[in-house]
Amino acid sequence: MISNSKFPILKYLKYFIFFLLAAVIVLAIYGAILESKYDIKRSRIIKAPAEVVFENINEFKNWENWSPWFETDPTMVTSYPDTTSGVGASYSWKGKSGSGFMKTVSLIPNKEIVHQINFGKSSTPEVYWKFNEVDEGTEVVWGMRGENSFTEKFYWLFKGGIEKNTIPVYDRGLELLEKHILTELEKHSFEAIGAVDYGGGFYLYQTISCQIQEIEQKMNEMFPVIVEYMAKNNIEASGKHFTLNHKWDEQNNTAMFSACIPVKERVITTGDVLTGYLKPQKTFKTIFKGDYKFANEAWEAAYNGLVAQGFTEIVGAEPFEIYTIGPTDTKNSAKWVTEIYIPIK
């Protein structure tokens, strides 16, 4: 026989069950009407060429240098296959928050990259990047788009929403990406090779006197003129562009130099483009890697290396620098290579 004192408990239990059932029904209806599709994106302007930003993101192994997930979970372990850049590239990871897999499905060089990401759940959203050149550098857009399954909508509902969880991470990632890229662009080095015999040869050139700070601008004006002249007259270059330094006057902030392109043989020229000859000579060679803004440091290092190795510069001789890898080869200034030659006794 059931005691009357237990009836209120059964009554409240019944109400609780009804309330719980009603709550589940309401949540189910609410979850069903929630928008399934999403497209979340964040952007940041990075003071770097689009090519540099694109190359960094296109190579998955670089992500460890700036990914916000590596910052929040230093224990994360990544695995890489043979292909880690370009279409078909991929990588996988395992960490405190779970595991996942990402693959590059399409790209337009320096314009766009699209990945497919798999968190081990029912949907596989796309992660995409867009690179837009602007006056200040490159506008980098990082986004994720997809469609949540019914269970995923409930998951994000109790997490506060997919946007609330994604936006801070993407903002931090873009901040770290900018910091990494700007740090990489600042890298430079100087290597004193020592005495070498330079073979010399003929070259086409233009000469100018200008203020020291105008040298790069003048080079950018002169080299295209020579290239155009060679193209019109079917003349082939036999080496990399170089500059021949005639005078350098820091006291008056002036310089005289020639922009030169080597050719196989003597050319009879007309107009503003002339033919010169660089005689074979003994030189002290230094390899400078990095942006041209470090050029003064490079020349100082070259002369210091020359003295340290016991050589003497020929007074009145004309040192020169050859642009082995330059802006026409890559926009990444950290990869530029300049060979400095100082004539020695």
Q: What are phi and psi of 318, to 5 degrees?
A: -115, 105
**How far is CA 234 from each of CA 9, 201, 230, 231, 322, rounded to the nearest angstrom?**
101, 19, 6, 5, 23
Round to whole Å and give the CA distance between 261 and 204.
5
Sign, CA dihedral 256-262-266-267, equals negative
Q: How many helices (H) and strands (E) does the chain have?
A: 7, 15
Domain formed by 189-343, architecture: Alpha-Beta Barrel (3.20)
b/e per residue 294-313 (b: at least 16 CB within 10 A): bbeebbebbbebbeeeebeb
For residue 77, the tally of other CB atoms under 10 A from its CB is 10
The ranges assigned to domains in the chain are 34-185, 189-343
pLDDT tens-digit profile, the chain (345 residues):
444 555 566 555 555 555 555 444 444 444 444 456 889 999 999 999 999 999 999 999 999 999 999 999 999 999 999 999 999 999 999 998 889 999 999 999 999 999 999 987 767 899 999 999 999 999 999 999 988 755 655 454 445 566 777 899 999 999 999 999 999 999 999 999 999 999 999 999 999 999 999 999 999 999 999 999 999 999 999 999 999 999 999 899 999 999 999 999 999 988 899 999 999 999 999 999 999 999 999 999 999 999 999 999 999 999 999 999 999 999 999 999 999 999 999
Half-sphere exposure of 25 (CA within 13 A, CB side): 6
Angle, CA of 257, 258 and 263, to the nearest 5°: 155
Q: What are phi and psi of 138, to 5 degrees?
A: -135, 125
At the top level of CATH, the class of 34-185 is alpha beta
Nearest Cα to Cα of residue 130 among 219, 262, 42: 42
